[in-house]
Structure 1
Amino acid sequence: MFKKILIANRGEIASRIIRTCHSMGIETVAVYSEADANAPHVKLACEAYLIGKPRVNESYLNVEKIIEVAKRAKVDAIHPGYGFLSENSLFAKVCEENGFVFIGPTPEVIEKMGDKLQARLAMEAAGVPIVPGNSTPLFELEKAKEVAETIGFPLMLKASAGGGGIGMQVIQNMNDLEKLFDGNRKRAESFFGNGAMFLEKLIENPRHIEIQILADHKGNTVFLGERECSIQRRHQKVVEEAPSKFVDNQTRKNMGETAVKAAKSIGYSNAGTVEFIVDDEKNYYFLEMNTRLQVEHPITEEITGLDLVEQQIRIAFGELLNIQQSEVELKGHSIEVRIYAEDPVTFYPSPGKVTKLQLPTGENIRHELAIEEGLDVSPFYDPMIGKLIVTSNLREESIEKLARALDEYEIEGIKSNIPILKEIIRHPEFNKGNTTTSFINNYLSLSHK
């Protein structure tokens, strides 16, 4: 097994990975920016190295500095977490070239699945259902208009290299396309260095459901049930749960087997997630594949009893999967909410010192935290400061437990999105399981949209 791993990340995910490494007897190396000098992940690791100023391009995206630290600390492998460099094929390649195992899939797979058009083509070739649309890059409005007429409205305009909802827009008619195409193309170019766009038929009132898979280097692949991730604000997930109230056993089996087929078709290894758009009739269509650990991975861990970070490490070390599909058993119901340091009305980030932090406690209540009482929330990074995960035997019990936990969750010194989470969890439509991607627009106060 690896003796020492560098975690090329920060915040709650860095701490999460470090804890598993320590439980496996693996030494850990943290990296940090000047803004994170007192961060929890820095204190938790066996060793920690300053890699630059607060801005991400000078620290957490500084490949040269991270590799320099990996060499100095004599690590065996590098875990990228999620975000930052986790889906950067060049970083994965640089790790390998410098003799470090990248804990994730191969650079070639990361590159293929990181481009949405390449991914569409690969999935179509593998026989995986895809949303009707075009599979060639669009750079000019006139060509986009021709494609739109062929597919028919309403449509979803997407950036080929996009993520996080950037460059994504609902197009109801030709006027929308004329108004929005160039702006979204330029935004994609600015964020991703790639302005290629494409159009897909809009699946109205859909659900966003994803399948967690694990695959070793010999092609052994299993799926670990689904996660319901439909409650989103501006294409960013807010609440996730596993399993989905909407998915029946046969649909779960079908979607899982499709995800396994998708992974095998591209030679995937390590942990990954195949995301689907699902309509009211339970027809499902490939959306994208995340070639990394997901933010919401804890709810899968809670209902399967598996440590996904441990599985990632063992696969990267070359071990074969120690679980077969017939052995995967889903027990109970788990819900995760993301805690953000942001104004619950304006949604502006709310950096500052955390003067009080009192966390709910109890059986099967889990916290993943990027903060501590007395520490500052930096304005330089994503405002997610923690995740609250609750698990019970039944969904109704989990909802009740989560509602109580949110009432007990106290943060002072900064603002948080906890009021919004309370409103979601207590809404009758959430209790009914009517959790489509339009949930927030349909049911929450206007100020929360």
Structure 2
Amino acid sequence: MNIINGGITAAKGFKATGLNAGIKNNEKKDMALVLSEVPCVTAGTFTLNKVFAAPVKWDREVVYNSEYSQAIVINSGVANACTGATGYQYCKDMAARAAKNLSIPENAVLVASTGVIGKQLPMDIICAGIDKLPSQLGFTIEDGNLAAEAIMTTDTVSKQVAVTIEINGKTVTIGGMCKGSGMIHPNMATMLGFITTDVKIAKPMLQKALSNIINDTFNMISVDGDTSTNDTVLILANGLAKNNEITTENDDYKLFYDALLYVSTVLAKKIAGDGEGATCLFEVKVINADTKNQAVTLSKSIVTSSLTKAAIFGHDANWGRILCAMGYSTADFDPDIVDIYFESKAGKLKIVEDGMATDYSEEFATQILSQNPVTAIADMKSGNETATAWGCDLTFDYIKINADYRS
């Protein structure tokens, strides 16, 4: 696998762009369009929040019932969530408008929105933006950058990644972009993720790969414990790499799976590291656990602990908060054999051995915790299973951002 520059436009046949339509009443880009030159096999995963946005309902219909998709139209600034029948009709209107401009079927257009909950979309502005977007589409990295910028809300940076692999002597490319900074928590964690690839693959195999990978990537991140109404990850595969179609879990599927896992992991970590107000990415590894479920439960409990996140912000090696979070996680384990480490580019330090503090240097611990990223490792010493979760520190700025988000 080769890591390359680029994102949503890296794979063959995919164009994208972004622009300022005026939804946010400022100069920031707020609408994006992604288009494949040919129809795409499509897979998706969506929020498990019972309060889900109109675009989630629309995209489920397209992913599950349409023969193919070919375009995604995205707006930021307004989430189109809790908007009733009107909001769903607006999704249909957005898809119809884009379909007409792109000369493709309405049910081949996916729709995504992110932003403030409860407001209706300003459809005059949205439709004007959809009319402008097609003429600006392009295949370059810069075009992909425009799209990645346009889907941001409280994100401080755009988030993209791309890789290539070889399948049957053909170069297959996977690229993606995502947004997410606050209201991030499994399942899935407000985030939108869009992945494009030129691999030739059967729809069941594409959905299987994405659904399995989500559990180890986007479902292992948390910023604030709030699961969004709009969480969506979509992957479009147009087959232009011309590899032999992947129809079973063979070696070609494994190659593709591993590359997609890498892309999804990078995007997920970019979201966690750019949490609202965050100063660092906080990674939690649980190793040598009895079961995978135990490792997942423990790592998520640590990474979501507000007290632990605050300690990371203060560069305080308050390991008691970690062990406490493990204790209330519902996972069954023996706290008297647990070892805990902190690690960063400044070094690695064991702070707990067999459930008790070691004679560690507070000064060295502070040096480690002053870096970005910071990793906490909990060694259960009881099995062979591992899990990794990602989050961020909890800062004063998180409160400031969310106290006046709508204003």
TM-score normalised by length of structure 1: 0.26
Structure number with the bigger relative contact order (C-alpha 8 A, sep ≥ 6) is: 2
